[in-house]
C-alpha cells in the first residue's frame, strides 16, 4: 500500500511540475519535452488505477505521435517565444475565467459523489466486471464484437480521408529532375567521362 502511495505522489508531483514547466520554459523545444514527461507520468498514474490499456495508448498515441508532431512543428516553424508572450497579461483575465469555470465544474462532479454516494453506483459498470477480465480484453470485446460494423465503417471513412487528401494536394510537377540511383549506377565510364585534348593557351 505504502509503495503505491509513494508511486502515486511521485508520478503526480512530476506531472504537475512538468506541466508548469511546459508553460514556463523559455525554449519551445523544452516545453514539448516537458509535455512528453508529463504524458509518461500520467501513464504511470493510469497504471496505478488499473487502466493499463489507457496507459499504453497514452504512451503510443500521445508520446509516439502527437508529441513528436508538436516537436516537428516547433522545430520547423521558427516560433519567437518573446513575441508570443506579449499578450500574456491581456489574455490573463479570460484564461483565468476559463480555468475557474473548469475548476468549478470539476468541483461539482466530485461534489456530486460526495453528496450522493449512490450516484456513483448507478453509473453503468463495465460488463463483465473488471476483476474477471483485463480492460484491454473488455474493450476488444466491445469494439470487435458488438460494434464491429461501426469499426469497419470508421476505417472506410479514414480511407476516404486519405484518398481525399492525396487527390486534392498531390501534384505531379513537370520538369522536376528525379534521382534514379539505378541509372546512376548503371552508367558506364564511357558515358560519364569525356577526355578532351586541350591545347595550352586556349580554353576548352
Partner 1 sequence: MSTSLASDLAAAAPELFLAGSAIVLLMIGVFQGDGASRSIMRLSVSALVVALLLVIFPLAGDGLYFNQLFIKDAYGSFMKLLVLIGAPLTILMGWRFIERERMDRLELPVLLLFATLGMLLMISANDLISLYVGLELQSLSLYVAAAIRRDSLRASEAGLKYFLLGALSSGMLLYGLSMVYGFAGTTGFTDLAAAFAQGAAAGEAVSVGLIVGLVFVAAGIAFKISAVPFHMWTPDVYEGAPTAITAFFAVAPKLAAMALFVRVLMGPFGELAGQWQQIVVFISIASMALGAFAAIAQSNIKRLMAYSSIGNVGYALVGLSAGTEEGIRGVIIFMTIYLAMTLGTFACILAMRINERSVEAIDDLRGLSKTHPLMAAALAIFMFSLAGIPPLAGFFGKFYVFLAAVDAGLYTLAVIGVLTSVVGAYYYLRIVKLMYFDEPAEVLDKPIGREVGVVMGLSAGAILLFFLVPGVVVDGAEAAAYALFAG
Residues engaged in binding partner 1 (CB under 8 A): 145-150, 152-154, 156-157, 159-161, 163-164, 166-168
Cβ-proximal residues to 46 (8 Å cutoff; 6+ apart), any chain = 52, 54, 55, 58
26-35 burial, b for 16+ CB within 10 Å, e for fewer? eebeebbbbb
Shortest Cβ 146–partner 1 spacing (Å): 5
- Alpha-carbon distance 159 to 171, whole Å? 20
Cβ closest to partner 1, residue 60 vs residue 148? 148
- Alpha-carbon distance 20 to 31, whole Å? 9
Cβ closest to partner 1, residue 145 vs residue 197? 145
Cβ closest to partner 1, residue 131 vs residue 145? 145
Grid look-up 480511407 returns 159
Shortest Cβ 169–partner 1 spacing (Å): 8
Shortest Cβ 142–partner 1 spacing (Å): 10
Cβ closest to partner 1, residue 91 vs residue 149? 149
Amino acid at each position: 500500500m505504502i509503495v503505491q502511495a509513494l508511486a502515486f505522489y511521485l508520478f503526480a508531483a512530476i506531472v504537475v511540475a512538468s506541466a508548469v514547466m511546459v508553460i514556463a520554459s523559455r525554449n519551445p523545444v523544452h516545453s514539448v519535452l516537458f509535455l512528453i514527461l508529463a504524458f509518461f507520468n500520467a501513464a504511470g498514474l493510469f497504471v496505478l488505477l488499473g487502466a493499463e490499456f489507457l496507459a499504453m495508448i497514452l504512451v503510443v498515441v500521445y508520446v509516439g505521435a502527437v508529441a513528436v508532431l508538436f516537436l516537428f512543428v516547433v522545430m520547423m516553424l521558427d516560433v519567437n517565444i518573446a513575441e508570443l508572450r506579449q499578450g500574456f497579461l491581456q489574455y490573463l483575465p479570460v484564461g483565468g475565467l476559463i480555468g475557474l469555470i473548469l475548476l468549478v465544474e470539476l468541483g461539482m462532479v466530485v461534489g456530486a459523489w460526495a453528496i450522493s454516494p449512490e450516484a456513483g453506483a448507478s453509473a453503468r459498470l463495465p460488463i463483465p466486471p473488471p476483476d474477471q477480465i483485463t480492460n484491454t480484453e473488455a474493450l476488444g470485446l466491445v469494439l470487435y464484437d458488438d460494434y464491429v460494423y461501426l469499426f469497419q465503417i470508421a476505417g472506410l471513412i479514414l480511407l476516404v480521408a486519405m484518398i481525399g487528401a492525396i487527390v486534392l494536394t498531390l501534384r505531379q510537377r513537370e520538369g522536376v529532375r528525379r534521382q534514379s540511383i539505378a541509372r546512376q549506377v548503371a552508367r558506364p565510364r564511357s558515358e560519364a567521362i569525356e577526355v578532351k585534348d586541350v591545347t595550352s593557351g586556349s580554353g576548352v
